[in-house]
A = this chain, B = another copy of it.
Amino acid sequence: MAATSSEDSVISLKGVILDMCGVLYDAGEDGGTPIPGSVEAVKRLKASDLQVRFCTNETQATREVFVAKLQRMGFDICVSEVFSPAPAAVAVLKERGLRPHLLVYDGVVPEFDSVEKANPNCVVIGDAAEKFSYQNLNDAFRVLIGLENPVLFSLGRGKYYKEDEGLNLDVGVYMKALEYACDVEAEVIGKPDPMFFQKVLDDMGIQSHQTLMIGDDLVNDVGGAQHCGMKGVQVRTGKYRPSDEKHPTVTADGYVDNLAEAVETILKLRGQ
């Protein structure tokens, strides 16, 4: 990561955005486990002069439940620092007067409590995991194909994520399925949507060139951030695969073994 050309950009940084699953912790049936060194790394980063926000496409729980889980793992984190797709989707639905048919994980349904859902005129899919049954996907398909102007929202477009026992399919795969079935293009809410990243920058009150994104998803974290003018670093944890470093279109500004190494390098270059 410490190529000379990137030293200047590290020194001029004002904020860091951290992806969560695969960077802070590995998901698992028991709720997940922190990646070694990441609890301490977050603490060091927050003690520095850099602003820190967390940006996730996690849609299996409300932000409150999700943040409480991270706090139990030992992370210094609070709800207002976390940006996730469901609240952003609720804002879009209300603004456009849309009533969603939801295909999401049970845990995130409360995020949509304030949205009218009867007689749906759009479909919202999130990382529904085992709720992506044939029946449930077919129900969502029938709503879409029955609309004169089908509108599909996808909370992220990730291909897969890592859980303890291996890689698991993410929402993007089912987004592609419904896009093909109904000849529609989904509107993505969450990373790598530039509007989603912009909200995080607005919250910090800084510009994209002053910001670094650290994630395990080369395309959606790193590439998405770079597309907005940020720097993007990939960690070799979570869903990272060696082939990512030979990706045909996305090259990270740096690759580090884990978040601890990223933070160590950043703070050292900044003399902290």
Contacts and interface: CB of A to CB of B under 8 A. Distances in A.
Copies per assembly: 2
Contact of A142 (B130, B138, B166): B166
B180 A173 contact: yes
A147 interface: no
A204 to B, nearest CB: 32
Main secondary structure of the interface of A (DSSP, over half): helix
Contacts of A149: none
A167 B180 contact: no
A134 B181 contact: no
A167 B146 CA distance: 10
Contact of A169 (B130, B137, B160, B169): B137
Contact of A180 (B137, B145, B176): B176
Interface string A129-168: 1111111011001100100000000000001100000111
A162 to B, nearest CB: 11
Interface of A: 128-135, 137-138, 141-142, 145, 159-160, 166-169, 172-174, 176-181
